[in-house]
């Protein structure tokens, strides 16, 4: 659905409506912050007594009642007024959260504005719906509760966050709610357990998933495919250890930026500080820097499928999509300045090839720096402007102007992020190509040019899958567990009509395995119909039934979840069919 420019303002207005309803029902509750977000809004509250999701219906009902009063002729509609800090604080007596925000606004020497709607007043900088009837009582719904620390800091008070979704009309809301129901059915945590792909263990730790044999096949197929694509493009694979001296990351610049997100290791045998590897790039730089380079040596392309570790907050961990152990299909290209665009094109081709074979539509965005916040980045404005122009030029060659997202660049350079749309319309940030002109300088990476003079090396960071764990979580939901044949942990299951034909089934199994097909033979201890239903529940791509006719003719009766029942065919013909489908990575 296409969203209007006013929709963010509508969602922002619904957040205020939520706060008004909560204050009416729970006079002692303290509203804090409530922004518009993708598909809706939220507001964080400090409640005197806990509430539960069972209370959302009453809050939603109160919101609808208040909305009607806001839509009356005599009601105020987000009338803004600039006030002094003292008057603003007087308006929020007993609310330390609003007072803290007021002090911050005052310290930045910005205007302090209060907005009145009906009888409700809130601290806000503006950006509301144009008129009260832009908010439709049948176009929003409260969806869930969550815990959220004040200002995102776990040292602060835990607040209650109420989430809602909002749209311009009931039709769009209903479509979104239907998508959410479909998303629940596809939840990778639920399907991951049902299909025996990965395990979470309390004694191992949150955010540290364990992959079963079937899940490991899925990982291996994905990583193997990206490895083949990279090697075809001239990437060489390297290996690096899982810990390093903290000095390495202090020099790279990561320490100052991410110290709180890094696992620290203290040795009992030395005073040297170590950390568990949070990323691969400084390690790859050390491999590159080991020997002098000339212009003839460049570009050099390193790749490394390696697990890194981030000290995530426990409350942010979620299945495979937010973990502490992150396997990156990481690569780094070391090149001359005049090779940046051509090297980025090579990685762009790899990314497009992969996602085409996963039926995920991708669209690039350009993440740039914010010139007013240069303290967040390494390097000067002039170099940033040049680097962004370089990536902008590359994207322009595709014939479409990419969306630019100000302030979302990496601290060492701008980046192209590929946003993928899954089968139920959700968007995910997936692959990335990042241009780095800072880390090479910090490590004094140079090469000798054609004239015998030293020149700076430039670096591209490229991730195709991003995080293997997160990508598998997205993929499980994208396919609803029905993986294409080339990815499926079990590609075929043989079902004998009765125990009498198990021997022939085993013969078929041996032939399939010999041909490299991942197959299994089910025990004939239940009815054929029940075993077929189980195979379908297990999302097995090909179900092969064998009985008296098949045994006599040396055939199988196949069925798959894409085409349904197929004609009976010789085992040799089936093998050729499956091998062709696997090779072509047919969806």
Cite the active site residues: 281, 310, 328, 330, 332, 415, 461
CA distance 543 to 519: 10
CA distance 223 to 219: 6
E strands of 96-213, at which residues? 112-117, 120-123, 140-149, 158-166, 198-199, 210-211
Cis peptide before 545 (omega within 30 of 0): no
Q: Which residues are bridge partners to 113 per DSSP?
A: 82
Residues 482-505: b if buried by 16+ CB within 10 A, e if exposed: bbbbbbbbbbbbbbbbeeebbebb
Q: Which residues are bridge partners to 159 per DSSP?
A: 148
Q: Which of 471, 474, 443, 472 is nearest to 457 (CA)?
A: 443
Dihedral of alpha carbons 561, 565, 571, 577, sign: negative
Q: CB-based contacts of 307: which residues, under 8 Å, 6+ apart?
A: 242, 325, 326, 327, 328
Report the chain's C-alpha Rg in angstroms: 29
Residue 419, CB-side half-sphere exposure with 13 Å CA sphere: 12
**Are 319 and 188 within 8 A, CB to CB?**
yes
Q: Which residues are bridge partners to 45 per DSSP?
A: 31, 160
Q: CB-based contacts of 79: which residues, under 8 Å, 6+ apart?
A: 115, 116, 117
Q: Which of 285, 282, 286, 288 is nearest to 249 (CA)?
A: 282
CA distance 89 to 93: 6
Q: CB-based contacts of 461: which residues, under 8 Å, 6+ apart?
A: 281, 330, 331, 332, 410, 415, 432, 433, 434, 436
* Angle at alpha carbon of residue 555, lines to 553 and 556, rounded to 5°: 140
Q: Which of 138, 153, 139, 114 is nearest to 16 (CA)?
A: 114
Secondary structure in 3-state letters for 413-481: ECEEEEEEECCCCCEEEEEEEEEECCHHHHCCCEEECCCCCEEECEEEEEEEEEEHHHHHHHHHHHHCC
CA distance 405 to 407: 6
Secondary structure in 3-state letters for 483-548: CCCCCCCCCEEEEECCHHHHHHHHHHHHHHHHCCCCEEECCCCCCHHHHHHHHHHCCCCEEEEECH
**Could you tell me the two tokens for 474?**
């997205």
Q: How many residues does the chain have?
A: 587
């Amino acid at each position: 659905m296409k969203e209007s420019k006013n929709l963010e303002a509508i969602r922002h207005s619904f957040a205020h409506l939520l706060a008004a309803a909560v204050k009416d029902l729970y006079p002692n509750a303290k509203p804090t912050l409530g922004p518009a977000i993708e598909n809706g809004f939220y507001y964080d509250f400090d409640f005197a007594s806990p509430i539960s999701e069972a209370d959302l219906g009453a809050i939603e009902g109160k919101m609808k009642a208040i909305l009607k009063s806001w839509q009356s002729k005599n009601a105020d509609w987000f009338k803004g007024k600039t006030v002094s800090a003292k008057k603003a604080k007087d308006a929020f007596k007993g609310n330390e959260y609003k007072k803290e925000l007021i002090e911050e606004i005052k310290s930045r020497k910005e205007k302090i504005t209060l907005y009145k709607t009906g009888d409700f007043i809130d601290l806000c900088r503006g950006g509301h719906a144009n008129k009260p009837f832009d908010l439709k009582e049948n176009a929003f719904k409260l969806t869930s509760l969550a815990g959220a620390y004040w200002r995102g800091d776990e040292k602060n008070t835990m607040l209650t966050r109420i989430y809602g979704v909002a749209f311009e009309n009931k039709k769009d809301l209903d479509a979104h709610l239907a998508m959410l129901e479909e998303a629940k059915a596809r939840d990778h945590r639920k399907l991951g357990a049902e299909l025996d792909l990965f395990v979470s263990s309390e004694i191992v730790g949150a955010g540290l998933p364990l992959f079963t044999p079937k899940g490991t096949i899925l990982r291996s197929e994905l990583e193997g495919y990206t490895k083949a694509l990279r090697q075809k493009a001239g990437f060489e694979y390297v290996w690096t250890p899982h810990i390093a001296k903290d000095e390495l990351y202090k020099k790279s610049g990561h320490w100052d930026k991410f110290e709180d997100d890094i696992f620290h290791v203290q040795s009992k045998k030395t005073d040297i500080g170590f950390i568990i590897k949070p990323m691969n790039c400084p390690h790859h730089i050390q491999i590159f820097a080991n020997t002098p380079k000339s212009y003839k040596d460049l570009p050099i392309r390193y790749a490394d499928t390696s697990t890194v570790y981030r000290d995530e907050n426990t409350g942010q961990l979620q299945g495979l999509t937010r973990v502490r152990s992150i396997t990156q299909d990481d690569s780094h290209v070391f090149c001359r300045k005049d090779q940046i665009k051509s090297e980025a094109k090579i990685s762009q081709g790899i990314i497009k090839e992969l996602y085409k074979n996963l039926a995920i539509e991708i669209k690039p965005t350009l993440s740039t720096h914010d010139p007013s916040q240069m303290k967040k980045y390494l390097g000067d404005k002039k170099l940033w402007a040049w680097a962004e122009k370089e990536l902008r030029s590359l994207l322009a060659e595709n014939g479409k102007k990419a969306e630019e997202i100000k302030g979302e660049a990496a601290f060492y350079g701008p980046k192209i992020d590929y946003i993928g749309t899954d089968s139920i319309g959700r968007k995910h940030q997936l692959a990335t190509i990042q241009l780095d002109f800072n880390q090479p300088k910090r490590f004094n990476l140079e090469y000798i040019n054609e004239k015998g003079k030293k020149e700076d090396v430039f670096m591209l960071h490229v991730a195709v899958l991003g995080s293997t764990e997160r990508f598998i979580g997205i993929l499980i939901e994208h396919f609803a567990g029905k993986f294409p044949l080339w990815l499926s942990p079990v590609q075929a299951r043989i079902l004998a009509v009765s125990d009498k034909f198990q021997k022939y089934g085993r013969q078929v199994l041996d032939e399939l395995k010999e041909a490299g097909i991942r197959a299994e033979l089910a025990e004939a201890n239940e009815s054929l119909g029940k075993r077929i239903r189980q195979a379908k529940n297990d999302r097995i791509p090909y179900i092969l039934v064998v009985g008296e006719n098949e045994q006599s003719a040396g055939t199988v009766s196949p069925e798959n979840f894409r085409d349904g029942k197929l004609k009976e065919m010789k085992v040799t013909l089936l093998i050729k069919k499956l091998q062709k489908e696997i090779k072509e990575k047919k969806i």
